[in-house]
């Protein structure tokens, strides 16, 4: 019988989600959508010292913002919930207890100091580090002594001799010798479960069919398989594992804070569209089979297969992401572009959000749509239309106060004042014939001075369109004011 596809994204939000997490979530989502399966979102928050409610809320918000809607998980619910591991502690306790009764697991009373001492000895003797099995077969007497000493016990899984082999859907057959997979802790001394226990129990109980996750978790797989065995899970009911290649930084080291990794929250504030992030990340380690660089979410769900995930690491390239973001911005219908741009303008206090201001923004957006690669460029581009006490930026002042610029500005006033029709065409025609043809100036010089006078800055949307939007009176007032500087 073919198992229904159930894929999960299971972050431990110990900070804001980052590029690697999101690429995993995207592939999980795309695989579920491609197969008509179910996409589960599970929060792995058993490490209460590091996971906070704030990070959990941010993770939920980020996934929603990206459009990676889950079918089961926080806020949505589902048949196999709850989907926050902190709400499932009794389930893990039940299994840990069962494993002890079955003798698959045992209480270990070694103190952290003792473990460290023995690890040190292992290092010196050049043997593989890890738990040496000291508490595996304690007598009732020994246990009583340890308890009498007030020692706390952890629960440890017994790893039998031998090896674990499984087929990874991306890297093929993978084997781990158990001498490198020592007995591992399932439950801490305070009774809280560890990741390995919770993740394995949940993947089974939630009937997860495919575990697509980062390569960093490959080495935890034999431990999870050991938990499945102790749970008595039939081989056919093990999930299929697929470990996604690392995302590397430009320096070819794993992407990290050190070489450019930043949280998705940063990309959001910097004005990247979720569709651009998903488009770019989709192509990071996966290929649709051709060399296209633009892919929609719909196409991704149609084309995504695990077979096309590359097993070698992918390199993160910010320039490429920016180029894709620019493409996606250009492709936005005006109303959507407006909806994306407005929060950036209000946050930068360029507008307060009145209907009049929004109408001006709407008329101005088409002239900058071709020119920006990030939404956070919008405020600087449009602020000249809204500033109350207009002034030329300090760093541009010298470019309008020299004698040549003054000649340009004087002539511009002479030519523009009589215009009865104020459109970018009429403005351009007037300025071209006078400044370029008659005065013989280079466009960059001539229009540069007018641009600074009118917009206050060298960065602005196209000049003639800007002047049309600003209106004749304001444009002429600003040129006159610049002349008086």
Active-site residue numbers? Answer: 257
Residue 233 C-beta: closest distance to ligand GLU, Å: 16
| 56 interacts with ligand GLU by CB under 6 A | no
Nearer to ligand GLU, 143 or 233 (CB): 233
Stretches 8-16, 256-264, 267-275, 347-355: which one binds ligand GLU (CB under 6 A)?
8-16
Among 6, 11, 135, 450, binds ligand GLU (CB under 6 A): 11
| 405 interacts with ligand GLU by CB under 6 A | no
Nearer to ligand GLU, 219 or 417 (CB): 219
Q: What is the DSSP string of 201-266?
A: HHHHHTT--EEEEEGGGGGGHHHHHHHHHHHT--GGGSPEEEEEPPEE-TTSSBP-GGGT--BHHH
Apex 170 CA angle, 283 and 316, nearest 5? 30
Tokens, residue 177: 């010798």
Nearer to ligand GLU, 44 or 168 (CB): 44
Task: Report d(CA 281, CA 273) in Å as an integer.
Answer: 12
Nearest to 247 by CA among 318, 322, 172: 318
Nearer to ligand GLU, 217 or 459 (CB): 217
Residue 98 C-beta: closest distance to ligand GLU, Å: 22
Structure-derived torsion over alpha carbons of residues 98, 103, 104, 109, reported in degrees to the nearest 10: 100
Q: What residues between 168 and 207 interact with ligand GLU by CB under 6 A?
A: 199
User: In this structure, is the dihedral angle defined by the CA atoms of residues 219, 224, 230 and 233, taken in order, positive or negative?
Assistant: negative
Cis? peptide before 82, omega within 30° of 0: yes
Residue 10 C-beta: closest distance to ligand GLU, Å: 4
Task: Report d(CA 39, CA 66) in Å as an integer.
Answer: 14
Among 6, 12, 286, 332, binds ligand GLU (CB under 6 A): 12
Task: Report d(CA 188, CA 361) in Å as an integer.
Answer: 57
Contact status, residue 129 vs residue 119, Cβ threshold 8 Å: yes
Backbone angles phi, psi at 241, to 5 degrees: -95, 140
Stretches 9-17, 166-174, 185-193, 405-413: which one binds ligand GLU (CB under 6 A)?
9-17
Residue 194 C-beta: closest distance to ligand GLU, Å: 11
Backbone angles phi, psi at 378, to 5 degrees: -60, -50
| 275 interacts with ligand GLU by CB under 6 A | no
Q: What is the DSSP string of 337-349?
A: HHHHHHHHHHHTT
Among 213, 223, 328, 451, binds ligand GLU (CB under 6 A): 213
Contact status, residue 162 vs residue 180, Cβ threshold 8 Å: no
Residue 44 C-beta: closest distance to ligand GLU, Å: 4
Give Cβ neighbours of residue 195 (< 8 Å, ≥ 6 apart).
12, 44, 46, 47, 220
| 44 interacts with ligand GLU by CB under 6 A | yes
| 10 interacts with ligand GLU by CB under 6 A | yes
Residue 275 C-beta: closest distance to ligand GLU, Å: 25
Name the CA radius of gyration of the chain, rounded. Answer: 31
Nearer to ligand GLU, 40 or 273 (CB): 40
What x-and-dash track marks residues 445-484 binding ligand GLU by CB under 6 A? ----------------------------------------
Nearer to ligand GLU, 208 or 416 (CB): 208
Nearer to ligand GLU, 23 or 213 (CB): 213
Residue carrying structure tokens 């340009």: 408
Residue 95 C-beta: closest distance to ligand GLU, Å: 17
Stretches 6-14, 69-77, 321-329, 393-401: which one binds ligand GLU (CB under 6 A)?
6-14
Residue 217 C-beta: closest distance to ligand GLU, Å: 5
Residues that bind ligand GLU (CB under 6 A): 10-12, 44, 199, 213, 217
């Amino acid at each position: 019988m073919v198992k229904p596809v159930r894929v999960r994204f299971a972050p431990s939000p110990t900070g804001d989600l980052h590029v690697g997490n999101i690429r995993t979530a995207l592939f999980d989502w795309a695989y579920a959508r491609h197969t008509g399966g179910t996409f589960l979102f599970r929060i792995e928050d058993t490490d209460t010292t590091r996971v906070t409610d704030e990070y959990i809320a941010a993770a939920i918000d980020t996934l929603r913002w990206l459009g990676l809607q889950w079918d089961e998980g926080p806020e949505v619910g589902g048949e196999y919930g709850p989907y926050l591991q902190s709400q499932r502690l009794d389930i893990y306790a039940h299994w840990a207890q069962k494993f002890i009764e079955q003798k698959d697991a045992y209480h270990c009373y070694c103190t952290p100091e003792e473990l460290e001492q023995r690890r040190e000895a292992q290092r010196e003797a050049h043997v593989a580090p890890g738990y040496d099995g000291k508490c595996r077969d304690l007598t009732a007497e020994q246990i009583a002594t340890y308890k009498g000493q007030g020692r706390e016990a952890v629960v440890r899984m017994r790893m039998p001799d031998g090896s674990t082999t499984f087929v990874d859907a991306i890297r093929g057959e993978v084997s781990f010798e158990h001498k490198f997979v020592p007995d591992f802790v399932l439950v801490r001394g305070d009774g809280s479960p560890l990741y390995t226990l919770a993740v394995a129990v949940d993947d089974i109980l939630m009937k997860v069919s495919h575990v697509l996750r980062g390569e960093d978790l490959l080495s935890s797989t034999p431990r999870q398989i050991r938990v499945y065995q102790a749970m008595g899970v039939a081989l056919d009911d093990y999930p299929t594992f697929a470990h996604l290649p690392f995302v590397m930084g430009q320096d070819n080291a794993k992407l990290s804070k050190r070489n450019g990794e930043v949280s998705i929250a940063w990309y959001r504030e910097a004005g990247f569209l979720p569709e651009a992030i998903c488009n770019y990340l989709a192509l990071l380690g996966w290929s649709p089979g051709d060399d296209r660089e633009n892919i929609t979410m719909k196409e991704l769900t149609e084309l995504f297969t695990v077979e096309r995930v590359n097993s070698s690491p992918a390199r993160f390239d910010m320039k490429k992401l920016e180029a894709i973001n620019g493409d996606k911005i250009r492709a936005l219908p005006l109303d959507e572009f407006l909806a994306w741009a407005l929060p950036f303008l209000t946050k930068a206090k360029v507008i307060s959000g009145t209907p009049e201001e929004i109408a001006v923004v709407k008329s101005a957006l088409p002239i900058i749509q071709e020119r920006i690669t990030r939404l956070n460029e919008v405020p600087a581009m449009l602020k000249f239309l809204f500033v109350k006490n207009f002034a030329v930026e300090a760093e541009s002042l010298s470019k309008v106060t020299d004698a040549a610029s003054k000649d340009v500005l004087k002539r511009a006033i002479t030519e523009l004042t009589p215009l009865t029709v104020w459109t970018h065409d009429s403005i351009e025609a007037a300025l071209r014939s006078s400044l370029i043809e008659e005065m013989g100036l280079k466009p960059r010089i001539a229009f540069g001075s007018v641009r600074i006078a009118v917009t206050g800055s060298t960065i602005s949307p196209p000049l003639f369109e800007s002047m049309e939007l600003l209106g004749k009176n304001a444009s002429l007032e600003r040129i006159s004011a610049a002349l008086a500087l």
